[in-house]
């Protein structure tokens, strides 16, 4: 599975930060959330992006406005379908790995809005 190594490393990184992973690869038609974690009372929806090299830009540069829109929609669907409400404290973020999945540099980018 493409990206499984990056997602596994990302989950381990988030757990090392004290988060509890509550779901992986939550899918809806047209969208997906790679990781959903809990940080205290806050749910965090994380998109994982990895790029081995910079030939086509950094991992962060691979996140499009369309992807962010689909991520937002998937997060709202998760809240309403799985938890029965959409007003819980939550946030979106992108976790990037630039370089190999096992050794590349990890950056967590919080998203506004």
Residues of the chain with pLDDT under 70: 1-2, 113
Dihedral pair phi/psi, residue 21, rounded to 5°: -80, 120
Q: Look at residue 55 in the predicted model and tell me its pLDDT.
A: 78
- Tokens 């779901």 found at: 23
Determine whether domain 4-110 maps to CATH 3.40.228.10.
no
What does the H/E/C string look like for 20-47? EEEEEEEEECCEEEEEEEEECCEEEEEE
Nearest 5°: CA angle at 32, between 106 and 2?
60
For the chain, give every domain's residue range.
Answer: 4-110
Q: Look at residue 58 in the predicted model and tell me its pLDDT.
A: 85
pTM here?
Answer: 0.92
């Amino acid at each position: 599975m493409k990206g499984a190594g990056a997602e596994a490393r990302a989950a381990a990184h988030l757990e090392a930060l004290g988060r509890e992973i509550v779901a992986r690869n939550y899918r809806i038609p047209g969208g997906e959330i790679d990781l959903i974690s809990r940080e205290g009372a806050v749910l965090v929806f994380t998109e994982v992006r990895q790029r081995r090299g910079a030939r086509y830009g950094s991992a962060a540069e691979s996140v499009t406005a369309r992807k962010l829109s689909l991520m937002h929609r998937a997060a709202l669907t998760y809240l309403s379908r799985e938890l029965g409400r959409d007003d819980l404290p939550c946030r979106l973020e992108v976790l990037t790995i630039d370089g190999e999945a096992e050794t590349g540099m990890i950056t967590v980018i919080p998203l506004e809005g």
